[in-house]
């Protein structure tokens, strides 16, 4: 099986590098308080840019795994450049997830790269391709929460602490939602290869509506409560308190005014 890809097709996109730069500069601004007049705006930039970076890595993980599983068309489509503008559904992959973050503080999964599944042989490979994206969110969550569970938060400015906590919350919500076995989401993609052909054919027409259905269910108070109890339980195990993530979201919503922190 060949996975040869032109070097140009794997060159990191300037768009992605710009996103990383925004994340770094805004993170520095939050840490140092250089935008003390509007720390919330710096938190907003840091979280949004960090969230988009994680979305790019999520899609890259799908693409890279597909490449090594047999879909050699991935490189020519630009998916290995980490450029969000190359995604099949840029609106679903980037714009809508950012809107959901602003609206409800939920890391809702976006669209996906287009993978030529016919080139891939073996059910395990298909499942791994689908799982690679949310596993990246889990890894990202582990990285941004590392200072919490390593007990390395002494001396960290409070706004930066809260911003990291909120960014971690988004990663955990994204990982959980992505693994929901609903058509159109990665969780269904993990189990789909193992389902009978007739079942897959019957479910296929509902795939475009899976994301909408999940988002709608999250507006049901009972479902929302259970979901966020699970999210905060995971964050708590990683050393991130409910207060940390709550204040991170309050700083993020800079247009509402910054919270009072003592």
Residue 83 and residue 21 in contact, taking contact as beta carbons nearer than 8 Å: no
Within 13 A of 247's CA, how many CA atoms are on the CB side?
A: 15
Judging by beta carbons within 10 Å of its beta carbon (0-12, 13-18, 19+), is residue 4 exposed, middle or buried? exposed
CA 238 to chain CA mean position, Å? 18
Residue 174 and residue 137 in contact, taking contact as beta carbons nearer than 8 Å: yes
Catalytic residue among 59, 204, 250, 258: 59
* Cα 9 to Cα 171: distance, rounded to the nearest angstrom: 28
Residue 232 and residue 242 in contact, taking contact as beta carbons nearer than 8 Å: yes
250 counts as catalytic: no
In the numeric block, the tokens 């999520």 are attached to 58
- Token pair in block for residue 131: 């799982």
- Token pair in block for residue 187: 């969780």
Helix (H) or strand (E) holding 248: helix 242-252
* Cα 257 to Cα 163: distance, rounded to the nearest angstrom: 15
What angle separates helix 221-237 from helix 242-252, to the nearest 10 degrees?
A: 110
* Residues annotated as catalytic (active site), given as ranges: 59
């Amino acid at each position: 099986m060949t996975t040869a890809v032109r070097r140009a097709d794997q060159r990191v996109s300037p768009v992605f590098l710009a996103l990383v730069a925004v994340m770094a500069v805004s993170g520095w601004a939050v840490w140092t308080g250089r935008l003390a007049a509007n720390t919330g705006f710096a938190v907003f930039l840091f979280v949004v840019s960090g969230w988009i970076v994680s979305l790019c890595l999520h899609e890259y993980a799908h693409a890279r795994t597909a490449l090594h599983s047999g879909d050699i068309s991935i490189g020519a489509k630009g998916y290995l450049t980490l450029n969000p503008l190359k995604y099949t559904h840029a609106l679903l992959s980037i714009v809508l997830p950012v809107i959901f973050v602003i609206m409800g503080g939920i890391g809702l999964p976006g669209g996906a790269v287009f993978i030529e599944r016919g080139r891939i042989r073996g059910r395990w490979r298909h499942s791994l391709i689908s799982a690679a994206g949310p596993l990246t969110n889990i890894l990202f969550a582990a990285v941004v929460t590392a200072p919490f569970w390593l007990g390395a938060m002494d001396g960290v400015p409070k706004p930066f602490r809260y911003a990291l906590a909120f960014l971690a919350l988004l990663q955990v919500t994204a990982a959980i939602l992505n693994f929901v076995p609903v058509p159109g989401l990665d969780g269904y993609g993990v189990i789909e290869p193992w389902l009978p052909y007739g079942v897959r054919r019957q479910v296929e027409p509902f795939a475009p509506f899976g994301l909408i259905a999940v988002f709608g269910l999250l507006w049901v108070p009972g479902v929302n409560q259970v979901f966020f109890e699970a999210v905060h339980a995971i964050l708590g195990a990683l050393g991130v308190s409910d207060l940390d993530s709550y204040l991170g979201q309050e700083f993020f919503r800079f247009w509402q005014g910054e919270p009072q922190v003592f």
